[in-house]
Structure 1
């Protein structure tokens, strides 16, 4: 895991300034927007396509866990922007777990399938998890915790947590959000709720660093775009952006996975030390309110040549 994290940091520490690269001319009727993720891709940006606006943004270091809302919700997400991981132990008493020796860590799967989370169906197990808090923005380890989810109801979760080798156990009641898809939580100190995700009906995409897991066991830090799992669907098409019309939309081609747009609309040119955007890749996004937009990326650098500033074109597809 440490080796994978070191590899993941290579693009973060190089290629800060780009050389001049030709950019396609804007398509008539399309709007151009740009978001800036900041140094070390620190920001997570929630974006609404219909207003071409940022709904909310946060520093990605301030939260650890996200607890699913909804009457029957029980899934728990790790902060994948930090390559967090969880390992199931055989202990049922949280004080009994003091080491992660011999445990196997897992990561949330990048497709966003809630049945493929690292913590999984904790209700049927009743066990304690070791939690690797992942990597700080500066590149260092954030340490390890242990976690036991005691219970969940239609309204709240009860949890216990502590430093991995500590006998000082914290308990916390986490209310389920009534407007967002998840309630966000920090295990720093005695624990705290963190206001992260906006109303799930107000945003379509999140620009963020996240964890892509290769071969089911190799985590890699990537930067890209994930979609709102509550209503947003995306498909990639081969029709050029300029030619794509509403009549080209195939409803059956929309996918539920949150990483259809993902990260690989750009590639890293190691010879020149820059990111190169493939503006020939075109996506159709069905927004949370059911409208259709075509989208493509045209740049990854801001006006000063600093990386981490995805620039994209949007145009609504109207019958």
Structure 2
């Protein structure tokens, strides 16, 4: 889902002192690890082996949370299928005789809410891996047997159910020949600060993800439906966290100076950065007319420029980042009642309506403060600004009073 962001929501305090800094994330040879990254605090937690889990279970059962009932699969370790014609009681009799003809299930590359197991849904009360108990309202009852075929050729079968009362998943599993049966119960409450808790079928639960409020980007491999040469390919790139929004601006004349974040269109699609900022033709080439603007988990805005990629030897992504704006105040109080004339020639008047002393700044699109003044409190005040010495172009008029901030666009045209 895409939506525009109102520029008046942005607080630009400290913007003029911002600067691009270089950073990098290394996934390791053959992209061995997943790395969670915070734009504010850099790498979060310890890089985790990308192949140590099969299934990821959302840690919420709240229907108001978009992640509820999401179960993702790790295509790094193999493929997963819903066995046709089975129900949740068929684990002991299901077989894999027709596996070569079954439809492979994939996580959505656009949203975390639609994991690979959810993709088996027929709609209605069917969550893909189970049906909502519409009689007792106690949980989601297994309605299919799934098969995981691992890269080494082995296979496991399993079913999943969820108890609302106990806030726990139950996974019943076996080998494809029905040996090695077992049951694992996953209590999700201890992992409520995370998006997912992870599990290799028949193995031990893995707590591998940092708290959801501490990261913005995930450097990983994921399956993409890019259509060539096969319907799905594993690609290496960047996905973003729930609640993070990203704008891709392309083409731009110079990513280092582009500051169009206020007018960009932001998307919640988790692959907005994705993988296609690079191309391979014997070596990797980085798109040089591309810039991303990221609204992070704290509501701050960043400029992100991809600058390098090593390939599978190191799994290293190099980039530049810069905080361009902070959303740390009320979004509701408008402090600017009007700006006129706009476009301005030699003078402009900014009408300020603030209950406390406010600071008025005008910034050019490189972040330089070209005008600054205070406005009186508890009054509607007109602040007159000479624009005679301003170069033609777009400026941001920012008014802040310590608890609220408003920014509006000003065009100067002599």
Which residue in the other structure is 1:108 paired with? 107
TM-score by length of 2: 0.62
Aligned residue among 69, 85, 97 for 1:74: 69
> Do structure 1's residue 293 and structure 2's residue 302 form an aligned pair?
yes
Deviation track 1:214-259 (CA, whole Å, cap 9, x = no partner) reads: 3497221110001012x111110134322233x63247x2111110
Q: Please, which of 210, 218, 227 is the counterpart of residue 206 of structure 1?
A: 218
Bigger Rg, which one = 2
Question: What does residue 51 of structure 2 align with?
Answer: 61
The SS at the match of 1:242 is coil
Greater share of residues in strand: 2
CA contact (8 A) 2:71 2:115 kept: no
Q: RCO higher in 1 or 2 (8 Å CA, sep ≥ 6)?
A: 1
Report the count of equivalent residues: 276
Q: How does 1:39-58 map to 2 (within 5 A)?
A: 39-58=29-48
Partner Cα separation in structure 2 for residue 100 and residue 68 of structure 1 = 31
8 Å Cα contact 2:304-2:322 kept in structure 1: yes
The question of whether the paired residues in 2 share the 8 Å contact of 1:35 and 1:311 is answered with yes
Which residues in structure 2 correspond to 1:183-194 (within 5 Å)?
183-187=197-201, 190-194=202-206
Residues 109-118 or 55-64, more deviating: 109-118
The answer as to whether partners of 2:35 and 2:43 remain within 8 angstroms in 1 is no
Q: Which runs of 5 or more residues in structure 2 are unaligned?
A: 1-17, 63-67, 120-126, 132-141, 326-397, 399-414
Confirm whether residue 128 of structure 1 aligns to residue 145 of structure 2: yes
CA contact (8 A) 1:83 1:221 kept: no
Aligned partners of 1:88 and 1:104 also within 8 Å: no
How far apart are the structure 2 equivalents of 1:84 and 1:284?
34
Looking at structure 2, the residues matched to 283 and 82 of structure 1 have their Cα atoms a distance apart, in angstroms, of 31
Gap runs ≥5 in structure 1? 1-27, 136-140
Q: Is the 8 A contact 1:31 1:313 kept in 2?
A: yes
Match of 1:309 among 286, 310, 316: 316
Match for residue 166 of structure 1? 178
Question: The residue matched to 1:248 in structure 2 has which SS?
Answer: helix
Structure 1 residue 83 displacement after superposition: 5.3
Tell me the CA shift for residue 69 of structure 1. 1.4
Instruction: Work out the CA distance in 2 between the residues paired with 1:207 and 1:280.
Output: 22
* 1:168 shift after superposition: 3.1
- Is this contact kept in 2: 1:86–1:107, CA < 8 A? no
Match in the other structure for 1:23: none
Residue 100 (structure 1) shift:
4.6
Q: Per the alignment, do residues 100 and 282 of structure 1 end up closer, same or farther by CA in structure 2, a change over 3 Å counting?
A: farther
Q: Is structure 2 residue 166 aligned with structure 1 residue 152?
A: no
Task: Determine if the alignment matches structure 1 residue 178 to structure 2 residue 185.
Answer: no
Q: Could you report, residue by residue, the CA deviation over 1:24-61 in whole angstroms, capped at 9, with x for unpaired residues?
A: xxxx9211001111111101000110023343310111
Deviation at 1:307, TM superposition (A): 4.6
Are 1:98 and 2:95 an aligned pair? Answer: yes
2:234 maps to 221
Where 1:184 maps in the other structure, the secondary structure is: strand
